[in-house]
Structure 1
C-alpha cells in the first residue's frame, strides 16, 4: 500500500444544499445554525417573540439562505414556520424520529448544527403539510372535534346528576340528549317536579312509558345538572360556529373548481348522523373532490370532509398508494437483518386519518359488502385487530385512487367477493395438485356447503 493512499482520508458526504439552515425549536428561544463557510457567526439564538422571528427571517434572507429545516416540536414550530415561509424560504418540517440520533453531547447548539448538516447533505425528508386553505379547514375541524369531546364529557355529568336524583331516564329512552331527554332535563332545571307533566313531555315517537318519573330532587344535584346543561349548550353553540366557518371555507375552496358535469349519485344512506355539520356536506364534497367519495363503503359525508381536511385534494405528493398507506402506518413494518425478518408490525401513530379509517373498518365489518366480507374472513383467520388494519388500508387505497385518478367505486357485493375467493382457492389447489402429479376434479357440492 502506498504512503499517499494510507494517509488519504475518506471523503465526506456531498453537500447538496450549501445554503441550508438548521433550527432547533424551543418554547422560549430558537437556535439557528448555518454553514460556517458563509458567516463568521454560524450559530445564533433568537427569542420566540414575533419581532425576533422577523429579525431571524431578515438575517437568513440577507445571508442568501434558500432552505431551512426544523423539527416538529409541539406547536412551537408553527409561528416560525409561517414567518419563514412568508419570506419565500423553503421550510422543511422534519420528523424528530429521523433526526434524534445526535453524536456527542446533547445541547441546543449541537442539535441545530446536526440538523444543518443533515439538511445540507439532503438526508432530511419533509413532513406533509397541506396548503394554506386546507390547513385553515383542518384547524376548524380539529376545533370542532375538541368541542364535541368536551360536550360529551358534560353529557356524562348530566347523566351522573340524574342518577343522583334517581331519575333513570337512560333506561327508558335511547339517549338523554334526544328531544325527549332534553325537554325533561330543561324542565327539571326550570323547577318542574310533577312526574305526570314530565312524562307528558316525551316525543310522540317515544314508545316507552314515562308515567312513573319521580326523583329525589336535592338542591346540590339539581345545581350540578344545571351547570352541566349550561356547559353542554355552550359547546353546542361553539360547534355551530365551527360549522359556519367550515361551510364558508369549503365554499371558498369550491369557487375555483368547476361544477361536476355528472349529477350527484344517489346517497347510500338517507339518514343523517347527529354529529354531522349543519350544512349539505355531501354536495360540497362532491364538487371539492370531483368524485362522490361516499360511494366507498365506510366513508360518509363528514368522514370525507375530515379526510380531505387532513390530506388535502392533491394526493400526488404520495407517488403511489403504497406510499400513502405507509404514511398512514397501515402498511406492514420492515425490520430485516441478515436476511431475517425481525418484525413486521405496523408502527404506532396518532394520525387522525388512521384513527378515522380504523373506526370505519370496524363499522364495515358488520355490513353485507365486499369490504365487509373481506373483514370477516380475515378476522376469522388472523384476528380482529389485524383485520381492522387490513380493511382500513383497503379503504385508504380506494380513497387515494378516487382522489388521485378519479376512480368511480362500485361495490361488487359480498357474494361476488366470496365467489372470487372461491376461485382463487380452487386455482391454488389445482396448481399444488399438479406439482405432485395429480389432477383436481370438481364435484357438485350440496346446497348450503362451500369453501370456508
Structure 2
C-alpha cells in the first residue's frame, strides 16, 4: 500500500514513543533487580516451585510476604492473610457464603496466574491431579483458588526452612506443641461443637 508523508510522520512518533516506553521499562526492571539483589537465595528457592519461572514473579512474592516467615504463626495464617481461605459464615445450622475474602489484592492474582500455569505442567502431576479432583466437585474457579493456596503453603515452608520445592511440602501440617493443654470444660465444649451429646458415666 501507499503511505502518505503525514501517516509516515505519525508512525515515526508512535515508534519513538514505543522505544521510549521500552527504555523506561528496562530502567525500572534494572532498579527492581538492584533492590532484590540481597534476596538472591530466596528468589532461587521460589523459582523451584511450579508455575514460578520468572524472576520478577519471585520478587513480587517476596515484596508481598517478605522472607521472614516468623511473622506468620503457620501456613494457614499466611493463606488467610493472602485472602485464599474460604470464610466460615454459618448461622442456625445454615451455611451462607464461603467466598474468599478481598484480602491480598496484589498477591492473590499473582498466585492465581502461577496456579493456572502449574496445572498445565506435566512435571508436577500432584498439582494437576488435585486440580482435576476439585474441579469435578466445585468448578474451575474454586479449584484454582485451592491450587493457589497449595502453592502458597509450599512457599511458606520453602522460605521458612530454606529448602527447594518438593511435592510433599504443601501437605505439611503445623504440629501442635506437645505441652498444649485444655480444661475438661473446654474439651466438653469442643465435643459439643462437633455434634456429640455428652452423657455422664452413670448413664
Match of 1:241 among 16, 19, 27: 27
Q: 1:245/1:312 Cα in 2 relative to 1: closer, same or farther (>3 Å)?
A: same
1:382 aligns with 2:167: no
Q: For residues 218-257 of structure 1, what are the structure 2 equivalents within 5 Å?
A: 218-251=4-37, 253=38
User: How many residue pairs end up in the alignment?
Assistant: 165
1:295 aligns with 2:48: yes
Match of 2:117 among 363, 368, 392: 363
Contact 2:81 2:103 in 1 (8 A): no
Over residues 173-211 of structure 1, what are the superposed CA-to-partner deviations in whole Å (9 max), with x where a residue is unaligned?
xxxxxxxxxxxxxxxxxxxxxxxxxxxxxxxxxxxxxxx
Over residues 51-82 of structure 1, what are the superposed CA-to-partner deviations in whole Å (9 max), with x where a residue is unaligned?
xxxxxxxxxxxxxxxxxxxxxxxxxxxxxxxx
Over residues 274-323 of structure 1, what are the superposed CA-to-partner deviations in whole Å (9 max), with x where a residue is unaligned?
xxxxxxxxxx2xx2x28622221111232111111222111221111111
Aligned to 2:66: 312
Between stretches 217-226 and 355-364, larger displacement belongs to 217-226
> Shift of residue 407 of structure 1?
3.7
* Residue segments in structure 2 that go unaligned for 5+ positions in a row: 169-203
Over residues 121-178 of structure 1, what are the superposed CA-to-partner deviations in whole Å (9 max), with x where a residue is unaligned?
xxxxxxxxxxxxxxxxxxxxxxxxxxxxxxxxxxxxxxxxxxxxxxxxxxxxxxxxxx
- Structure with the bigger percentage of strand: 1
> Shift of residue 220 of structure 1?
4.3
> Shift of residue 350 of structure 1?
5.9
Contact 2:82 2:104 in 1 (8 A): no
> Shift of residue 223 of structure 1?
3.5
The structure with more radius of gyration: 1
* Residue segments in structure 1 that go unaligned for 5+ positions in a row: 1-214, 255-283, 413-452
Contact 1:290 1:406 in 2 (8 A): no
Q: For residues 144-293 of structure 1, what are the structure 2 equivalents within 5 Å?
A: 215-251=1-37, 253=38, 284=40, 287=41, 289=42, 292-293=45-46
Aligned to 1:123: none
| Residues in 2 aligned to 1:339 and 1:329: alpha-carbon distance in whole angstroms | 25
1:391 aligns with 2:177: no
> Shift of residue 239 of structure 1?
1.6
| Residues in 2 aligned to 1:216 and 1:348: alpha-carbon distance in whole angstroms | 53
Over residues 236-277 of structure 1, what are the superposed CA-to-partner deviations in whole Å (9 max), with x where a residue is unaligned?
1112212222232233x35xxxxxxxxxxxxxxxxxxxxxxx
Q: For residues 20-169 of structure 1, what are the structure 2 equivalents within 5 Å?
A: none
Q: Secondary structure at the match of 1:397?
A: helix
Q: 1:336/1:313 Cα in 2 relative to 1: closer, same or farther (>3 Å)?
A: same
| Residues in 2 aligned to 1:291 and 1:219: alpha-carbon distance in whole angstroms | 51
- Structure with the bigger percentage of helix: 2
Aligned to 2:161: 405
> Shift of residue 385 of structure 1?
0.8
Q: 1:350/1:396 Cα in 2 relative to 1: closer, same or farther (>3 Å)?
A: closer
> Shift of residue 395 of structure 1?
0.6
| Residues in 2 aligned to 1:337 and 1:308: alpha-carbon distance in whole angstroms | 38
> Shift of residue 403 of structure 1?
1.0
> Shift of residue 410 of structure 1?
2.4
Q: 1:372/1:220 Cα in 2 relative to 1: closer, same or farther (>3 Å)?
A: farther
> Shift of residue 362 of structure 1?
1.0
Q: 1:340/1:407 Cα in 2 relative to 1: closer, same or farther (>3 Å)?
A: farther
Q: Moved runs in structure 1, 4+ residues, more than 6 A?
A: none
Over residues 4-48 of structure 1, what are the superposed CA-to-partner deviations in whole Å (9 max), with x where a residue is unaligned?
xxxxxxxxxxxxxxxxxxxxxxxxxxxxxxxxxxxxxxxxxxxxx
Higher relative contact order (CA 8 A, sep 6+): 2
TM-score in terms of structure 2 length: 0.72
